[in-house]
Amino acid sequence: MTSPVFISINSGSHEKPLKKCSKCGEIKPFTEYHKASERKIGIKSACKVCCNYAKAKTCVKYKEKYKERSKKWGNPETTKKREQRKIKELTRSYINKLLRAQYEITTNEINKIPQLIELKKVELKNKRLCQKN
């Protein structure tokens, strides 16, 4: 009788533990997540890129609201437009970062393929919709 063959799976201690991001769905090493001591796993559910984007977005909204209140003569129309423009810029750089990490390409290459950005946007939107249900 032949002895069973054991396949050695390379899971040495040098390998970094990986986790799937709850926002972008990318599988990233723990070092790509902010620490969260209140969580059992010790890190946030979304990666640094996603967390930073969410934080920056909240910040823009808050700032514009504050400006709107402090300037009584401020035109709400322009405030809203400025807020939307800033968020658009944030979203673009966020998607850029995700694409760069996912495909290991440069910003120049991404700009040459605008469909990539649109695809990623749709992907993220679908993800959000799925999580809501």
Could you say which residues in the range 5-34 bind Zn ion, by CB under 5 A?
Answer: 21, 23-24
Let me know: does 19 contact 27? Beta carbons within 8 Å: yes
Let me know: does 36 contact 44? Beta carbons within 8 Å: yes
Nearer to Zn ion, 112 or 128 (CB): 128
Neighbour-count burial for 72-110, b at 16+ CB within 10 Å, e otherwise? eeeeeeebeebbeebbeebbeebbbbbbeeeeeeeeeeb
- Give min distance, CB of 35 to Zn ion, in A: 16
Task: Report residue 6 CA to chain centroid gap.
Answer: 39
Burial environment of residue 64 by CB neighbours within 10 A (0 to 12, 13 to 18, 19 or more): buried
Nearer to Zn ion, 16 or 65 (CB): 16
User: Does the footprint of Zn ion cover residue 95 (CB under 5 A)?
Assistant: no
Residue 36-55 contact track with Zn ion, rule CB under 5 A, x = bound: -----------x--x-----
Nearer to Zn ion, 21 or 116 (CB): 21
Nearer to Zn ion, 47 or 110 (CB): 47
- Give min distance, CB of 33 to Zn ion, in A: 9
How many residues touch Zn ion under the rule CB under 5 A: the total is 5
The tokens of 80 are what? 């809203």
Nearer to Zn ion, 97 or 110 (CB): 97
Q: Can you give the binding site for Zn ion, defined by CB under 5 A?
A: 21, 23-24, 47, 50
